[in-house]
Amino acid sequence: MKVAVIGRCTPPFEKGLVAAAEKLGSELAKRGHVVLSGACAGLPHYAVDAAYSQGAKTVGYSPAADREQHVKDFSSPFSGFSELRFYGDRSWSSVKNFTWRSAHLVDDADAVLCIDGSWGTVSEIALVFITEKPFGVLETGGAASFIREMEAKLAKRRKTPVIYERDPVKLVERTLNSC
């Protein structure tokens, strides 16, 4: 199963959040899943690194046009990925690059897990709500702190329940069992 991990990429990261992201990645690797991310630094990348270090396949969906732009313009990591896919175009705005990347990330995933988050994560959450894909939220703060409210107000017709959990292992188990 391909599982996307979305969440905050901008530091600072509290130690507990980093540990939770790493535990999420480790648990996905242990269960044999492919881990997808938006290929940026941050909490999703901690999950990717943990999964990759345990032998899992990891795929990064970069908003850049190529490796040079990925590293130079987006300040994004290249390590920890089995594969890096580029969805950007140098002539596009950052908004278009990130939106296009996120659409592919969510579309390709069989399930999505969220840890913390900011504005970019909110746009990915909207895509997840539209797709009806299994969605698990690690209750850690950031965008994750108001997903229940978003769901209640904006996703009233969503048939697939959102899974909320404070423990990364339980989140993986409960979300992927709902598939």
- Please determine, for residue 163, whether its predicted confidence score (pLDDT) is greater than 80: yes
Query: What CATH number is associated with residue 156?
Result: 3.40.50.450
Question: Using CA atoms, how far apart are residues 95 and 92, in angstroms rounded to an integer?
Answer: 8
Name which residue leads in pLDDT, 26 or 119: 26
Whose CA is closest to 150, among 165, 137, 166? 137
pLDDT of amino acid 18: 96
Give mean pLDDT, residues 99-106: 97
Cα separation values, 63 from 39, 41, 75, 166, Å: 8, 12, 11, 30
The percent of residues above 70 in pLDDT, for the chain, comes to 99
Whose CA is closest to 3, among 172, 166, 127? 172
- Cβ neighbors of 167 (< 8 A, separation 6 or more) are none
Question: Using CA atoms, how far apart are residues 99 and 89, in angstroms rounded to an integer?
Answer: 12
Give the total number of structural domains in the chain.
1
Domain that holds residue 143: 2-177
Residue pLDDT, tens place only, 55-64: 999 999 999 9
- Please determine, for residue 157, whether its predicted confidence score (pLDDT) is greater than 90: no
Q: Give the pLDDT band (50/70/90) at residue 165.
A: very high
Is the distance from CB of 168 to CB of 20 less than 8 angstroms? yes
Residue pLDDT, tens place only, 46-85: 999 999 999 999 999 999 999 999 999 999 999 999 999 9
- Cβ neighbors of 130 (< 8 A, separation 6 or more) are none
Residue 98: DSSP 8-state: H
DSSP code string of 107-139:
HH-SEEEEES--HHHHHHHHHHHHHT--EEEE-
Residue 38 Cα to chain centre, angstroms: 6
The percent of residues above 90 in pLDDT, for the chain, comes to 78
Is the distance from CB of 64 to CB of 76 less than 8 angstroms? yes
Residue 135 Cα to chain centre, angstroms: 11
- Please determine, for residue 155, whether its predicted confidence score (pLDDT) is greater than 80: no
pLDDT of amino acid 6: 97
